[in-house]
Amino acid sequence: MRISAGEHRGRRLQSPRGSRTRPTSDLLRQALFNVLGARIQGARVLDLFAGTGAVGLEALSRGAASATFVEADRRAVASLRANLAALKLTGRARVLAGDALQAPARLQAAGETFDCIFLDPPYAGDLALRCIETLADGRLLSDNGALVAQAFHKIVLPDRAGVLRRAWRRRYGESSLTLYTKEAECG
């Protein structure tokens, strides 16, 4: 797994051996950042279910101002911290070791907002839907921000959730990417 563009293009990322963490593929990351385009420049990024941090690290490499990573798996967190150190990005990043469904409430309580929110939960179960419902009030997303959910392609994510409206969905093999924006931006 490598960073595909930006300041750290071509750099390899560490991931734990035998981990249950499923890294976002290079193809999916390239598709994601092609869709987001200039939104990433100077963005505050939240990477939920971050795993080894491939998506958030790619965002930082492409010019995001900062990234907050949330991951519960201890081995993935250790790899994420090692990746941040190897890329000398610790000053622009924060790692929260814990539940990605509970982190949004803590971040909202602290008054934080993000320009890009990525979520890539395990494909088993309904975690993608539950996370979107958790974020549906839109308080964590800046007014012109984007929320992107990666899910198993057979999981049906809603067209709308609270103030979030689906702007785009594409399938890539067994995965799909769904982009949400706030209602005001869609109308």
Tens digit of each residue's pLDDT (9 = 90 or more) over 101-110? 999 999 999 9
Decide if 3 is inside a domain. no
Report the DSSP pairing between strands 93-97 and 66-71.
parallel
Domain extent for 145: 26-186
- Number of domains, the chain: 1
Tens digit of each residue's pLDDT (9 = 90 or more) over 56-98? 999 999 999 999 999 999 999 999 999 999 999 999 999 999 9
CATH label of the domain that carries residue 64? 3.40.50.150
Closest C-alpha to 83, from 35, 12, 139, 150: 12
CA distance 113 to 135: 11
Beta strands, E only, 44-174: 44-48, 66-71, 93-97, 114-119, 141-152, 160-161, 164-172
- Residue 24 pLDDT greater than 50, yes or no: yes
Other CB atoms closer than 10 Å to residue 171's CB: what's the count? 10
Longest dimension (CA), the chain: 46
Mean pLDDT of the chain: 90
- Residue 185 pLDDT greater than 60, yes or no: no
Decide if 158 is inside a domain. yes
- pTM, 2 dp: 0.91
